[in-house]
Structure 1
């Protein structure tokens, strides 16, 4: 009877592996997406010819805009921003224009909020009232921003900041610069409108029946993204430093054939919503050779939020992310949490994360919906990660139930998110709070996650909760906490093969919950020692087979 039981476990695990591998065969590292880059005429339109003055005082909005308009009207070419400090208000890109900012040029956006009109935009996946972005473009084709210069959004003028995020000297300088301080002395605001919005907990989302006039009294609070390109085709961002954005730095939305190459993206670590790049509902994307150092997620994939995102129904798909470096950020490579349109066929490789809060970060929650699948990650190096090296969480901004808590499991609907078919290999992490964290929902497990050849030197090992079809092969968990090395809760069909860990752990495996089962441990030292496995909250010894 025991032999038959074991045979059933092995058979079911093999079936899961075969199914997932068959799905993976449709998309592979040998069949990467193809991205088409824009091509431009050689005609050059120097902004000096249109009256621009590089003195850091003259507002050059009109001159730069005239150069862009003239270039596009004449069939396209290069709008040249030569060396100098160029103060400007918001500018709009046009089709067939390559805005080229040379090495010793700084394009600096004004702190005069009146230069930025209120518009209907999209932020965090929702229709929102926003200030006009410093650089924008809609329904364009064949555009680029290139060069080696700097584009500075002057974001500190827009951002409120907490006293605890600054040194005492920085705080004193901030207060002396103007603005207002909260009654408790803990928060600095750049203007009365920003302070009002914060105190009243106002929301920027445009509700039915609201107009932009309803947001006039809090206009300054509606911080723009530095660059927003919506529904554009054949886009190139190359070589430029984008920095000090009021909110997200780079936001391509509903774009196709997007190339981001050798850019530098910099935001202060205290910058709220200071994401590096948020690729939302885009198709055919290449991000390579770039560096991100920002106040929120570094390289992020999104596709809309909740019902609005599901109605849009546009996944981010066919994406290559390679040879990038991420320093300070909430996550190095991130999907979510606004992923209601889904994400698929994403290839991430040869990247390094240094000092990010989380390395590989996949996040969602009930209500989002959307399917994230066919995600391929390999050759990732991490150092000094604050929290988790590899992180899946379907309880983003939600409180999960306790291990033994009895709950009513919700019905699966179109608002139920899904994470499935992830293939992660060759990851090295030197320093993190935890190596691996996977947490699905009771009604929807995180499914079919393949982790091969990982070396994780961390404080804690791995936690796997509400998951199905998790495969750890040749994973080294050198964790300080070894009771247990791997914690499992209400998870099924786990293959743990060739697990290496810190010598003499107190416990290798802790299995919890009556929904756990079909856990097969192979080629792992001490796995046959009954003292190395514990069972709690309805779990029992029949759930684990050691070979």
Structure 2
């Protein structure tokens, strides 16, 4: 009998109701949920003090901690204890059957001495790349954990570039006084000349035959590591610990299975470039619950590789349950993409709160990615003070922050019809219900490609207060039902461009200068029912080839 005991998570059946087109309401359920194999550890305990570790904040404890983990692994596993205190260390390698346990008031501080992090072949933003060794890492291990009550600090300020526009004047002056170098635009600070040199290159870390060890050494500081990388591991538990101040992404399970993340706190400065909280990439069977994220980029993110490399890997992220979690500052509260070329499916998020995230539910991709994202379920989501969209689907992701900085100008993507190829991404079968948002720039934004409409989006029971209303472009089989909109700038309340089979039922609103603006020659079968159109000063406006008969109001 295997040492690892598998157990089926007791996840309650959750039922959401949506209405599609003119069909009767159909029940969709949170079914086919994953079976998560749990971790199990021997009670044997090893204290790093027995290996000469010192909590003076000066002694480098890399060897002591790693030797304790290695010995624990050789003995068949158990618990390696990090006691109370400040423990300075270099990279730590997790090994099978070992639970690294941080006691209360334990601070595992990773050194800012970059020489302690060797260059290794890794993965960054969905592509094989040369990176500095991650502070905590494991590869091809089974039954591993980091648990307890302490803090893991990645020393990220030694690695990250910083944008001037994200700091106050006094913070910027203090940063300049600390050393480092400023970019040619005088708006970006880099911790070293090597970091700046790498930033000037395109795909600097991508592994190619023409790059040798000397090349990577010249830009080493630019190749920032993710704080925690678990590569091709099985049966993983992260519980109770605070992971903060990551050089790049914070938590990154990659091509791993059976992962439980419970009651963790992922924390980064809001200006932390690429400072994601959790990136679940090409993983299978994942539970995230009771956790908090307050970071500099996306909060909870689903990925599966980038472009041709992701399609070649062909490992979707699938069977993921996210529940009872909170996201504060982040580019997106819950996010899929944009590196999703291997696909994503069977994702269930429920009972979560987003406060101050740039976007609430954020689904992003772009041409070149390919991949299919489908069967995504979200329910019981609360949002407050969202600077961007409450709910966003966008197939024109441009690799920029979702909310422009003051004075930043952006051009609208050029709309052109291109052939459908393996590089064309697909977004379909999203089911979202029971969303309340108190404050957003836009309520709902759905934007597909002319050659590949976003399709089968079902939104039910939404209450959203925002500056702008519903914006639906290049989409088909879209259903919004039981939606209440409190919109400040309802000119129009509902905008549709080249929408097909768009059904809106029971839409209530406080006021509207213009109810509908419909543009484009490819609109068809747009229906509105159960809505008091008389509250709008003007009901409809058609343009750019749209005909009045595409809209039916009952």
TM-score normalised per structure 2 = 0.92
Deviation at 1:199, TM superposition (A): 4.0
In the alignment, the residues of structure 2 paired with residue 411 and residue 516 of structure 1 have an alpha-carbon distance, to the nearest angstrom, of 20
Q: 1:498 corresponds to which residue?
A: 506
Partner of 2:254: 253
Equivalent residue for 1:447?
Answer: 455
**1:160 to partner: Cα distance:** 1.8
The whole-number CA distance in structure 2 between the counterparts of 1:51 and 1:466 is: 63
The two structures have a TM-score, normalised by structure 1, of 0.93
Deviations 1:425-474 (A, max 9, x none): 00000001000000000010010000000001000001000000110000
Map Cα deviations across residues 484-515 of structure 1 (whole Å, 9 max, x no partner).
Answer: 10100001001100001123x11111111010
- Separation in structure 2 between the aligned mates of residue 527 and residue 537 of structure 1, nearest angstrom: 25
For the residue of structure 2 that corresponds to 1:223, the secondary structure is: coil
- Which residues in structure 2 correspond to 1:353-432 (within 5 Å)? 353-397=354-398, 407=416, 409-432=417-440
Cα shift readout 1:146-199 (whole Å, capped 9, x = no counterpart)? 001000000001112122222233223322222223455433221121122234
Q: Which has the higher helix share?
A: 1
Aligned to 1:158: 159
Higher mean C-alpha displacement, 226-235 vs 390-399: 390-399
Partner of 1:6: none
Q: Does the C-alpha gap of structure 1 residues 62 and 482 become closer, same or farther in structure 2, counting only changes over 3 Å?
A: same
For 2:506 and 2:213, the matched residues in 1 are separated by 59
Over aligned residue pairs, what C-alpha RMSD do you find? 1.8
Residue-by-residue CA offset, 1:196-248 (whole Å, 9 max, x unaligned): 22345562211344344421101011110000000000000000000000000
Q: Separation in 1 of the partners of 2:264 and 2:278? A: 11
Which residue matches 2:237?
236
Question: Which sits farther off after the overlay, 267-276 or 194-203?
Answer: 194-203
2:479 corresponds to which of 471, 487, 501: 471
Match of 2:542 in 1: 535
**Alpha-carbon distance in 2 for matches of 1:89, 1:483:** 56
> In the aligned structure 2, how far is the partner of 1:213 from the partner of 1:118?
11
- Displacement after TM superposition at 1:401 (Å): 5.2
| 2:72 match: secondary structure | helix
**TM-aligned CA distance change 1:426 to 1:501, over 3 Å:** same
Mean CA deviation greater in 38-47 or 186-195? 186-195
Q: Distance in 2 between matches of 1:318 and 1:183?
A: 45
Contact 1:119 1:212 survives alignment (8 Å)? no
Q: Which segment drifts farther, 525-534 or 60-69? A: 525-534
Report deviation, 1:527: 6.8
Distance 1:218 1:13, change over 3 A: same
- 1:459 is matched with 467
Distance 1:534 1:401 in 2: 24
Q: Provide Cα deviations, 1:64-92, integer angstroms capped at 9, x if missing partner.
A: 00000000000000000000000000011
1:5 is aligned to: none
Residue 419 of structure 1 and its aligned partner are, at CA, apart by 0.5
- Give SS of 1:33's match: coil
Residue correspondence of structure 1 range 162-201 to structure 2 within 5 A: 162-182=163-183, 185-200=186-201
Instruction: For structure 2, list consecutive stretches of 5 or more residues without a partner in the other structure.
Output: 1-19, 400-410
Q: 1:35 & 1:88 partners in 2: Cα distance?
A: 32
1:4 match: none
Where 1:65 maps in the other structure, the secondary structure is helix
Distance in 2 between residues matched to 1:209 and 1:438, nearest whole Å: 42
When the two structures are aligned, how many residues end up with a matched partner? 524
